[in-house]
Chains A and B, each alone.
Chain A
Amino acid sequence: MMHHSLLRRVASLLALAALSSTAPARAQSQPAYDDFEVTLTILPPVASEVELLGLNDIAFGPVALGSADTIVPAQSDHFCLNRTTPGNVLVKFEQLTDADSGPGFRMAKGGEDYLPFAIRLTDPAGVDWPIERGVQFPTPRSAEGCDGTTAPNASTGHQIAVTPAPIPAGTPDGLYSTTIQITIAPAG
């Protein structure tokens, strides 16, 4: 660039001028000179944004009740808690239906019959987080590259495991359900 060429010429002249001002009077070898430019760009912080990707419905399938408590295997799902900047993500699980049911989660049938369940969250580092309804907590963001598709999320994303409480014998049959909403925000 012409601008830089001019600056470099000035640099050379300055260098020579400085040298000649200190050189002794006797004959001396011609000094060698060259120049180089150092460049650096620093960008101001960008706003921290978060995105939840890859969350799916969880279906337990038909459960046939036995004569005693029936154990229902846990179901899990992988998803991404992405953040555009380094730092943790604040997470809150809320149950949109059945608002007055207390701190625990539960599925309902017709507003009279319920099946409690627990949710655990595992972050990409393998740390387990028990979830309380409506309680916000920080967790590391998902690893870079977590894009919400199924396969890679096991290593880069978060995992939730939903475990229904054992279903007592005599529990009314029917369809039990609820909706859980996850809200995330940058932690700092």
Chain B
Amino acid sequence: MKMNTRFSAAALLCACMSVPALADTVPATQSTGQFELIVRVVPPVTPAVTIIGLDDIPLGTFQRVAGEALENQIIGHDDFCINTGWTGSTATYPGPLSMTVYQVGGGVSGRYALRGRSDPSKSLPVTLTIVGGRIGAESRPGGAITTDGSTLQMAPSFASCTAASTNLTFNAARITVTPDGVPADSDMADGALSAIFAIVVSAP
């Protein structure tokens, strides 16, 4: 039997590419043909994720008034991009992405909280809400409330999202910080408070 088939170890990895086959052109009782398999093996491609335009959120200074609660007055937000791609490619990774927000040093009683910079006994719980760029079951008007260490499913921002983009454009994500109210005549949160949060975004 005349058989001349050339395989290479690399070709075994993928048989999806081929070149035109050569075949006998004369009718006979037995016929053979040959074709070549070629494949280029490259390093595995992985999604690449980048966070752009995440800024500090200063909530400002508020004056308490004796006998009055401090509530519904303090809120802050920042818009940022979650841009994606592939290693070695200009294509955009479509998602989904997993996003987790951690508070450095942990929160208070299972919640995010601002802490007194000079007085550790002072604290004020805060709620972090992620708006925009979300997909799946967690997508709902008004945003998704995140808790320390929990994971949200996110959609990437549009490829043209930059640090100057807002939640209303380019599908940038928005993180909103809303401190709890301060009861009347409570000094639980007097002074300078702060917290550092780390955002981690990954592709599965």
Interface window among A44-52, A65-73, A138-146, A176-184 = A44-52
B199 proximal to A (CB < 8 A): yes
Within 8 A of A (CB), among B97-124: 100, 102, 104, 114, 124
Chain B residues whose C-beta falls within 8 Å of the C-beta of A18 in the assembled complex: 100, 102, 149, 200
How many chain B residues sit at the interface, stated as a range, is 35 or more
Add 11 more A-B contacts to A15-B199, A29-B47, A39-B193 (CB < 8 A): A15-B200, A28-B202, A30-B48, A31-B200, A32-B201, A33-B199, A34-B198, A38-B195, A42-B64, A44-B190, A45-B66
Chain A residues whose C-beta falls within 8 Å of the C-beta of B39 in the assembled complex: none
A151 proximal to B (CB < 8 A): no
Contact of B59 among A32, A35, A39, A85 (CB under 8 A): A39
Q: What 0/1 pattern do residues 68 to 104 of A give for CB contact below 8 A with B?
A: 0000000000000000011100000000000000000
Report the separation of the CA atoms of residues A41 and B198 in the bound assembly, to the nearest whole angstrom: 21
Q: Is the CB of A42 within 8 A of B193?
A: yes
Main secondary structure of the interface of B (DSSP, over half): strand
Which residue from chain A places its CB closest to the CB of B83 in the assembled complex? A32
Which residue from chain B places its CB closest to the CB of A45 in the assembled complex? B66
B38 proximal to A (CB < 8 A): no
A2 proximal to B (CB < 8 A): no
Chain A residues whose C-beta falls within 8 Å of the C-beta of B25 in the assembled complex: none
B203 proximal to A (CB < 8 A): yes
Nearest chain B CB to A89's CB is how many angstroms away? 15
Q: Is the CB of B46 within 8 A of A19?
A: no
Known: A36-B55, A38-B57. A46 touches B102 (CB 8 A): no
Interface window among B7-15, B68-76, B138-146 = B68-76
Report the separation of the CA atoms of residues A46 and B201 in the bound assembly, to the nearest whole angstrom: 44
Q: Is the CB of A38 within 8 A of B199?
A: no
Known: A45-B63, A45-B66, A48-B66. A39 touches B58 (CB 8 A): yes
Contact of A11 among B56, B66, B104 (CB under 8 A): B104
Q: Is the CB of B78 within 8 A of A36?
A: yes
Contact of A36 among B57, B82, B179 (CB under 8 A): B57
Report the count of interface residues on A (CB-CB < 8 A).
36
Chain B residues whose C-beta falls within 8 Å of the C-beta of A87 in the assembled complex: 65
| Partner-A contacts on B (CB < 8 A) | 44, 46-51, 54-68, 70, 74, 76, 78, 80, 82, 87, 100, 102, 104, 114, 124, 126, 149, 175, 177, 179, 182, 187, 189-204
Q: Is the CB of B202 within 8 A of A31?
A: yes
Q: Is the CB of B47 within 8 A of A38?
A: no
Q: Is the CB of A40 within 8 A of B51?
A: no
A127 proximal to B (CB < 8 A): no
Chain A residues whose C-beta falls within 8 Å of the C-beta of B80 in the assembled complex: 34
Contact of B191 among A7, A33, A42, A188 (CB under 8 A): A42
Q: What 0/1 pattern do residues 13 to 35 of A give for CB contact below 8 A with B?
A: 01110110000000111111111
Chain B residues whose C-beta falls within 8 Å of the C-beta of A86 in the assembled complex: 65, 68
Which 5 A-B residue pairs are closest in the complex by CB-CB distance? A31-B202, A29-B46, A40-B59, A32-B49, A11-B198
